[in-house]
C-alpha cells in the first residue's frame, strides 16, 4: 500500500477546494490560510510534481499574465486516481484514530 504524505493530502484537498483556480500560488495561500502556517514554494511544488508523476493530478497551462512576466500559470485538477488516494488515506487515518481511546489525549 502506497499512502500519500500529509503534505500531498493537504495539497489534493486544496485543489478540490479551489476548483478551477488551483494553481501554485493559490494553493500556497489556501494552505497558509487553513493551517495558519507559512508554506514555502518547495513545500508546494515538490509534492505537486510527485502528484503529477503519480497521476493523481493533471497539470494544464493557463494564460500568461503581465505580473508573471508573460509566463503562463499551471493549473491543477484532481484525477480519479487522486480521488482514490485521498479516500484511502482518509480510511487509514480514520481507522488508526478509531483505535485511540477517547480519553487518551486529555
Q: In this predicted model, what pLDDT tens digit does every residue of 20-68 receive, in sequence order?
A: 999 999 999 999 999 999 999 999 999 999 999 999 999 998 876 666 5
Q: How many CB atoms lie within 10 A of CB 95?
A: 9
**Residue for cell digits 505580473?**
67
Which three cell numbers mark 42? Answer: 518547495
Q: Which fold has domain 6-97?
A: Arc Repressor Mutant, subunit A (1.10.10)
**Is residue 69's pLDDT more than 70?**
no
Asked if 50 contacts 8 with a C-beta cutoff of 8 angstroms, the reply is yes
H or E, element range at 47: helix 41-54
Which of 85, 91, 95 has its CA nearest to residue 52? 85
Amino acid at each position: 500500500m502506497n499512502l500519500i504524505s500529509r503534505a500531498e493530502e493537504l495539497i489534493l484537498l486544496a485543489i478540490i477546494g479551489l476548483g478551477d483556480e488551483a494553481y501554485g500560488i493559490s494553493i500556497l495561500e489556501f494552505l497558509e490560510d487553513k493551517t495558519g502556517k507559512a508554506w514555502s514554494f518547495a513545500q508546494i511544488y515538490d509534492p505537486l510534481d510527485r502528484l503529477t508523476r503519480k497521476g493523481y493530478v493533471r497539470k494544464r497551462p493557463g494564460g500568461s499574465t503581465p505580473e508573471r512576466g508573460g509566463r503562463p500559470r499551471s493549473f491543477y485538477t484532481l484525477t480519479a486516481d487522486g480521488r482514490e488516494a485521498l479516500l484511502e488515506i482518509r480510511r487509514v487515518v480514520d481507522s488508526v484514530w478509531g483505535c485511540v481511546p477517547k480519553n487518551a489525549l486529555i
